[in-house]
Amino acid sequence: MPFRLEARGQNSVLWSWLSPVIAILATLIVSTALFAAMGKPAGDALYTFVVAPASSLNGLAELGVKAAPLVLIGVGLAIGFRANVWNIGAEGQLILGAIVGGGIGLAAGDREGFWILPAMILGGAVGGALWAAIPALLKTHFNASEILTSLMLNYVAQLLLIYLVVGPWKDPEGYGFPQTRLFGDAATMPILISGTRVHLGVLAALIAVALGWLLHAKTLLGFQLRVLGQAPRAAAYAGFSGAGLTWFALLLGGALAGLAGIFEAAGPIGQLTPSISPGYGFTAIIVAFLGRLNPVGVLLGGIVLALSYLGGEQAQIALGLPKAITGIYQGVLLFFLLAADLLVGYRIRLVKRVPAGGAA
Amino acid sequence: MNEFALITSVALSVISASTPLLLAATGELVTEKSGVLNLGVEGMMLVGAIVGFAVTLGTGSAVLGVCAAALAGAAMALVFAVLTLTLLANQVATGLALTIFGIGLSALIGSGYVGQPLQPLPKLAVPGLSTLPVVGPILFGQDALVYLSFAALIAVSWFLRRSHAGLILRAVGDSHDAAHAIGYGVIKVRYLATLFGGAMCGIAGAYFSLAYTPMWAENMTSGRGWIALALVVFATWRPARLLLGAYLFGGITILQLHIQGFGIPVPSQFVSMLPYLATIVVLVAISSDRTRVRLNTPACLGRAFNAAG
Amino acid sequence: MQMKRRTFAKGLMAGAGLVAAPRLITSARAADPFKAAWIYVGPVGDFGWSYQHDVGRKAVEAALGDQVKTTYVESVPEGADAERVLRDLATAGNKIIFATSFGFWQPALKVAKQFPDVKFEHATGYKRADNLATYNIRFYEGRYIQGVIAGKMSKSGIVGYIGSVPIPEVIMGMNAFLAGMRTIRPDAKIKMVMINAWYDPGKEADAAKALIDQGADIVAQHTDSPAPLQTAHDRGIKGFGQASDMIKFAPDSQLTSSIDHWDDYYVTRVKAAMDGSWKSGDVWDGLKSGMLKMAPYTNMPDDVKALAEKTEAGIKSGEIMIFIGPMKAQDGTVKIAEGQMLDDGAIAKMDWLAEGVEGQLPK
């Protein structure tokens, strides 16, 4: 191989900002070629995927609505991943948050009361955290890998949701369709910018980023989580409780995913149905790493992914391209973004002569 | 239907539900043993499924179809390997991105193949033996990919435990620095292990489009890649346990459908939870031995390695 | 002229007009094609529900040619995203928009309010507005014919029935099937399995195998893929297709298939929207209007075929009523009394399984 990677020793601040720019430019070049191959004018790729979705107030508002659950979940997962806690179950935790918070909203019915929304939001967080407590318990007491348990619980949560909306919680006026009643006015997330769909959950995502950053950068707990992830032995010597930190990471991740669930259900959706989330719990894993496991980075990562979803819709609406193109575009974008991170930590040195049997 | 026939037929159902899981998980196990975590199983399976289908339909040869599916899976894995092993991109996120990419790519390739029928993969009947009651059809009347799933598992088990190359692969997965210091080509080993994993996932996908449900439809693997990934964790990276996990999951999936068919007075959603809950319960039961689990876990799983670093 | 405008539009998109919203391009001119759009819950490549709606969209293109420009958005999740997609389609100048899955009802209702000049149509729903119509197919008519055929063809009298999630559509289909089957075999039974997923061909095949192993010798399905029928074919028994003619997948097994035929409805409605005669309302049609078609009756003796054809004709003429008393629920309570029949409202809300169906609905 004609190049060698040399560690910078310290991450380059310049490149940490420049590398995503390079990645996005590279993506545009590739997607322009892709569009050309599909018989579309070259400029369309840029316009459709980047400009069109964000070219109006409403477009920006929708970007926020789409990014909010990804960011909310991503912040929690990033903190967990730093501590080597592999929560793959955010999707299920999101669903349980919607179920518990939504259950409170349904019980409130058409009642008025300032307490209803806070109770639902709290219920969402508790529901998500309790669902995440199962893998935490099985990990700390029975040594069962949280990767498997949290993943399997996603399916269980989805089936539980189906049971509730076709069974006991089914809307009696809903012609038997799988849905609950609509949440009452007092149980619906307020709209923050009138004329758009920007709801309380968007603000909550921003608050989560701020608090996540404080925890990450300014507290002892954040430090302990990082040490646990980087050097579990050192953490043990230092007397940090591995089990305690595992609990913390899972409960926090679960609570944030649960919040995302109740904000979606009682926000733009307005009721419980079998499809609260189009896989936010999985996409948020990408968002967490795209943000380099840093809460502020998660915010940017969430926006980039949300933009690619909105762009994909535009590609279908304005250009008549199939959704498959969006998947390929998103894949390529992520590949470039993830690969360009190399430049943050490493210098690329060209090597003139490769010694025989060198690195493959 | 008499009892023999019933047992045989249920066993055959379990085998076909378990085979794609076993094929994909066996490949992923080798990848992970080398220290590489590729979460793109679902995407590699889907690309394998459509390429296997298209080539079989186009050439009329299922052998070529399966080979093409393996190559397609390996090609997807190569993309992953270049990104994560050469360019040191994060493995977890790259794997998930590979799945998104694979779903899109397979849909694009497959758009012309929707609604086209295909002859199912032939059963390789062993003359004289395949007509025996019960054991005949189960042991001697399967299609080639079922045999391949077992052969691959046995081969991988032998390779990891007994061969010198397998020892190197495990060393690379357990401590890439030490392996590098001894002089093993860490990156080369990981490339090969990743490509093998991709090829097996491609074949698992071909099992879907050629044997399990011989057709192409978008997203036809419906999340089996995730189950295969979970099974590698379930197995604590030991091939024998992988067999247990795949057949436990496949078996209980079939069992829950039978329970529903019997008309028991429990809502079907709860019955459908059984495979997932059973996997968790069994994992809890077999994970208590902490040391043993730790010994089998590749210590460098998911960590980047840079020789010059 | 046509050519020129298109080039102009593309120039706008590609070059100087990056900031110009798509609205500019679509500002109506007299000769502009009429824009119609569809949103699908699944991929067009699912070879089932969404695929069949897209067949209908293509029929509109074929029938109206240059006069229309159609657009579709596939795999739109039934959550927060649908509202945005519908709004974007309306903003992009589409004058009639078909939302083709039940879960789109609320977004369709909201967006219809925001765009009073745009016509909306919601498949399988029940909420309407002045510019929001609903439409659906009486799938259960086809199920009844299937039941009659099964009554003649089944030896065991047990039918295996695979559903996705127990909603009224599935329940009424199952009850209609059994009603048809019991006209021939009063002891007929249905064994049902819900896969509890919207789409999973592998599990559909597994479910068919389990039902066959439990004695079913006819496979019927309310899931969309050809997998259960393929399984029936593999096991040498008979079955029914769903959504489209699946005879290619089971040449020796398919007895018939209920084909969702949206084509004519879509053409009629788009034309109505173009000439200004479009009115909101509810269309729930079946065999008579041709929204539901039966695939050729195959793999059965001539007398069964004749009976199936006679049943089809009877349903079309109104001679045969499907949900007519006496009909009992699983627990023996009379649901439709002798001489009574269910009205459409009661059919649409059906939440009870008929006597002879094994299995339980969530309460």
Q: Which residues of B156-193 are buried (b: 16+ CB within 10 A; e: fewer)?
A: bbebbeeeeebebbbbbbbbbeebbeeebbbbbbbbbb
Give the count of Cβ contacts less than 8 A between chain A and C: 117
CATH number at residue C41: 3.40.50.2300
Is the same domain home to C58 and C197? Answer: no
Of C251, C285, C319, the last residue of a domain is C285
Residues in chain B within 8 Å Cβ distance of A144: 280, 283-284, 287
pLDDT tier at B1, thresholds 50, 70, 90: low
CATH number at residue B287: 1.10.3470
Mean pLDDT over B149-167 rounds to 96
Quick one: closest CA in A to B86, which residue? Answer: A360
Residues in chain B within 8 Å Cβ distance of A7: 306, 308-309
Distance CA C318, CA C90 (A): 40
Omega cis (within 30) before A190:
no
Is the same domain home to C91 and C236? Answer: no
Domain of residue B270, residue span: 8-120+141-296
Per the CB < 8 Å rule, is A323 touching C75?
Answer: yes
Distance CA C64, CA C58 (A): 10
Return the pLDDT at C22.
41
Neighbours of A207 (CB within 10 A): 11
Mean pLDDT over B128-141 rounds to 82
Quick one: closest CA in C to A174, which residue? Answer: C349
Residue B135 domain-assigned (yes or no): no
| Angle in degrees, 0-180, between the axes of helices A57-82 and A200-218, rounded to the nearest 10 | 30
Return the pLDDT at A43.
76
Q: What sections of chain C are H helices per DSSP?
A: 2-14, 22-26, 49-64, 81-91, 105-114, 139-153, 168-182, 201-213, 227-234, 263-275, 302-317, 344-348
Distance CA A353, CA B8 (A): 62
CB C122 within 8 A of CB C185: no
Residues in chain C within 8 Å Cβ distance of A50: none
Distance CA A292, CA A337 (A): 11
Nearest to A253 by CA among A84, A156, A125, A155: A125
Phi, psi of C238 (to 5 degrees): -100, 160
Task: Measure CB to CB from residue B308 to each of A5, A156, A288 and give the nearest one.
Answer: A5
- Among B102-116, B137-151, B283-297, the minimum mean pLDDT is found in B283-297
Residue B14 domain-assigned (yes or no): yes
Q: What is the dihedral of CA B28, B195, B155, B15, to 10 degrees?
A: 50
Collapsing DSSP states into helix, strand and coil, what is residue A222? Answer: helix
Mean pLDDT over B61-72 rounds to 97
Is residue B260 pLDDT above 80, yes or no? Answer: yes
Is the same domain home to C353 and C307? Answer: yes
Residue B127 domain-assigned (yes or no): no
Quickly list DSSP for B69-126.
Answer: HHHHHHHHHHHHHIIIIIS---HHHHHHHHHHHHHHHHHHHHTTTTT---PPPPB-PP
Cα separation values, C248 from A290, A296, B117, C22, Å? 46, 54, 6, 43
Domain of residue C75, residue span: 2-138+262-285
The sheet carrying C96-99 orders its strands as C68-73, C34-39, C96-99, C119-123, C132-137, C282-285
Stretches where chain C sits below pLDDT 70 are 1-31
Is the same domain home to C127 and C94? Answer: yes
Return the pLDDT at A67.
97
Is the same domain home to C27 and C102? Answer: yes
Residue B128 domain-assigned (yes or no): no
Quick one: closest CA in B to A4, which residue? Answer: B308
Task: Measure CB to CB from residue C193 to each of B223, B260, B265 and give the nearest one.
Answer: B260
Extract long-range pairs of B142-146: CB within 8 Å, 24+ residues apart.
B142/B15, B143/B211, B144/B66, B145/B19, B145/B23, B145/B66, B145/B121, B145/B203, B145/B206, B145/B207, B145/B210, B145/B211, B146/B15, B146/B16, B146/B19
Is the same domain home to C111 and C210? Answer: no
Classify strands C254-260 and C132-137 as parallel, antiparallel or unpaired: unpaired
* Residue bearing the bigger pLDDT, B139 or C73: C73
Per the CB < 8 Å rule, is A325 touching B270?
Answer: no
Residues in chain B within 8 Å Cβ distance of C52: none
Mean pLDDT over B93-109 rounds to 96
Task: Measure CB to CB from residue A322 to each of C74, C168, C362 and give the nearest one.
Answer: C74
Residue C363 domain-assigned (yes or no): no
Residue B304 domain-assigned (yes or no): no
Helix (H) or strand (E) holding C292: strand C292-294
Residues in chain C within 8 Å Cβ distance of A58: 87
Task: Measure CB to CB from residue A341 to each of B89, B92, B108 and give the nearest one.
Answer: B89
Return the pLDDT at C281.
94
Q: What sections of A38-179 are H helices per DSSP?
A: 43-46, 57-82, 90-108, 116-142, 146-166
CB B27 within 8 A of CB B196: yes
Domain count, chain B: 1
Distance CA A170, CA A163 (A): 9
Stretches where chain A sits below pLDDT 50 are 356-360
Q: What is the dihedral of CA C89, C90, C94, C99, to 10 degrees?
A: 70
Mention every residue, 6+ apart, whose C-beta is less than 8 A from residue C193: B257, B260, B261, B268, C160, C161, C162, C163, C207, C210, C211, C359
Residue B111 domain-assigned (yes or no): yes
Return the pLDDT at A63.
96
Domain count, chain C: 2
Instruction: Tell me which residue has tokens 């509202």.
Output: C83
* Residue bearing the bigger pLDDT, B4 or A186: A186
ipTM at complex level: 0.93
Is residue B198 pLDDT above 50, yes or no? Answer: yes
Cα separation values, B182 from A232, A358, A360, B307, Å? 25, 14, 16, 12
Residue B301 domain-assigned (yes or no): no
Residue C167 domain-assigned (yes or no): yes
Burial of C97 (0-12, 13-18, 19+ CB in 10 A): buried
Nearest to A338 by CA among B101, B44, B83: B83
Residue B205 domain-assigned (yes or no): yes
Under DSSP, the state recorded for A47 is I
Domain ranges, ordered by start, for chain A = 65-293
Nearest to C176 by CA among C350, C362, C1, C363: C350
Give the count of Cβ contacts less than 8 A between chain B and C: 138
